[in-house]
Amino acid sequence: MRLTPEAGRPVALGSIDLFDPDLLASGDPHSVWDVMRSEAPLHRQVLPDGRVFWSVTRYEDVCRVLGDHRAFTSERGTVFTQLGADDIAAGKLLTSTDPPRHTEVRRAIGGRLTARAVAHWQDLVRRAVVRFLEPALDGGCWDLAERAQQLPLIIAGSLLGIPESDWEKLVQLTGMVTAPSDPMFGLGSEAATLAIAHHEIFDYLSDLVRRRRSAGTGGDSLLDHLMTVRAGAGPLPDEEVVYDSYSLILGANATTPHTLSGIVLTLVEWPEQCDKVRADPSLIPSMVEEGLRWTSAACNFMRYATVDTRLTGGTVPAGEAVVAWIASANRDESQFTDPHTFDVTRGENRHVAFGFGPHYCIGAPLARMTARIFFEELFRLFWSIEIDGEPQHLRSNFIAGMTHLPVVTRKRAQV
């Protein structure tokens, strides 16, 4: 996704198609959202097949829609790509469940993913990152965005206890779910791609849980934890163990690689900001926060209104879908000074890249730690990063990212 709006680009809101994956892949969405925030903060679009959705683009409205589960349910689906298709996992998949069940399950899983808990995995994450970066030490051109897709599973796969031989297959299947119309992932129509991917992932995870049960649990992986933890009145049923493992894999895979490659591209485009961080690596955590705001890989999440609900730009009728554009909220001028400036020293960075409210990203501490370690190691191993070809953007109306980013990285003499 183009991360800096083109100055003075005319925007005709009446003809903008926010559902079109090419808006993120090759358009200039920030120019569109800038105009929407000021002129049409509550925007309605009807697709040619009759499906309707509303869009909110202001920080305040995005927080309201994501945070108010009574007025905006997650139980009819939260992924824009699947607009209008009722969610068969409602009430079973963490992301598609409202409180109070959501609170019970979240509490059961969340204890293993707090900042304090994930700090124990720091060495594992560092080893995975170094293993990931080492092949680039030869100085040749390599595709950072394509390779980065493997990284979250090297980490989440180890944590969940998924055999390494299956990681690559899961990377491909989760890519099919998040970007079914991208040439790298699509298999015929979007619907067919989604159906095949869902079927194969659930088959795989159900089989893994079955085999683990018959071998006897007792291990220390996150999957063992899910299989033994109590949520509410009883243990998590195996069906929910499968769904929640799916949520964790998808949550990690769909976003982390695009955040990392997006920040790398941004550092090349803003060299004076990159120099600041190289000169003072203690800025890496604040650079990561600014990078999360700037790239907003989870570009939007969807909800359905349960009652007629008033937002800043008007009223959303009960029953209709509302898309909360996180990437736009993260550039809202009422919340961020100079929102279209990438500033690694930005203070008070209350971005919503990890969402807001009850569904706030449960993997945020792990994602933050992974990104911090990734940039610590990148700067330690290499003294320069150059782009060596055209970046290829992901064709998705949900996730903003890249499928290809050819780079040349030059290693430090002492490495």
In the complex, which residues of this chain contact ligand HEM (CB under 6 A)?
66, 74, 78, 94-95, 106, 156, 247-248, 251-252, 255-256, 259, 297-298, 301, 326, 353-355, 359, 361-363, 366-367
Cβ proximity to ligand HEM, 35 vs 96, nearer residue:
96
Cβ proximity to ligand HEM, 35 vs 255, nearer residue:
255
CB of 112 to ligand HEM, least distance (A): 10
Q: List all residues 6 or more positions away from 341 whose beta carbon is below 8 Å from its beta carbon.
A: none
Pairing of strands 321-325, 52-56: parallel
Residue ranges of the alpha helices (H) in 68-166? 101-110, 115-119, 122-133, 144-148, 151-160
CB of 146 to ligand HEM, least distance (A): 18
Cβ proximity to ligand HEM, 29 vs 251, nearer residue:
251
CB of 258 to ligand HEM, least distance (A): 8
Residues in the chain, how many? 415
Residue 276 three-state SS: helix
Sign of the CA dihedral 346, 393, 365, 284? negative
Region of 321 on the Ramachandran plot (φ > 0 left; ψ -120 to 50 alpha; else beta):
beta
CB of 248 to ligand HEM, least distance (A): 4
What helix, strand, coil percent values describe the chain, rounded to 5? Answer: 50, 15, 35
CB of 256 to ligand HEM, least distance (A): 5
Neighbouring CB atoms inside 10 A of 350's CB total 12
Neighbouring CB atoms inside 10 A of 257's CB total 28
CB of 95 to ligand HEM, least distance (A): 4
Cβ proximity to ligand HEM, 300 vs 409, nearer residue:
300
Cβ proximity to ligand HEM, 95 vs 178, nearer residue:
95
CB of 74 to ligand HEM, least distance (A): 6
Cβ proximity to ligand HEM, 339 vs 355, nearer residue:
355
Cβ proximity to ligand HEM, 42 vs 108, nearer residue:
108
> In angstroms, rounded to a whole number, what is the distance separating the alpha carbons of residues 401 and 345?
24
CA distances to 2, 205, 245 from 199, in Å: 33, 10, 15
Residue 22 three-state SS: helix
Judge if the upstream peptide bond of residue 163 is cis by omega within 30 degrees of 0: no
Cβ proximity to ligand HEM, 115 vs 192, nearer residue:
115
Cβ proximity to ligand HEM, 35 vs 113, nearer residue:
113
CB of 254 to ligand HEM, least distance (A): 8
Token pair recorded at residue 86 = 């009722």
CB of 326 to ligand HEM, least distance (A): 6
What strands, in cross-sheet order, belong to the sheet with 406-411? 141-143, 406-411, 382-387
> In angstroms, rounded to a whole number, what is the distance separating the alpha carbons of residues 199 and 206?
11
> In angstroms, rounded to a whole number, what is the distance separating the alpha carbons of residues 86 and 79?
11
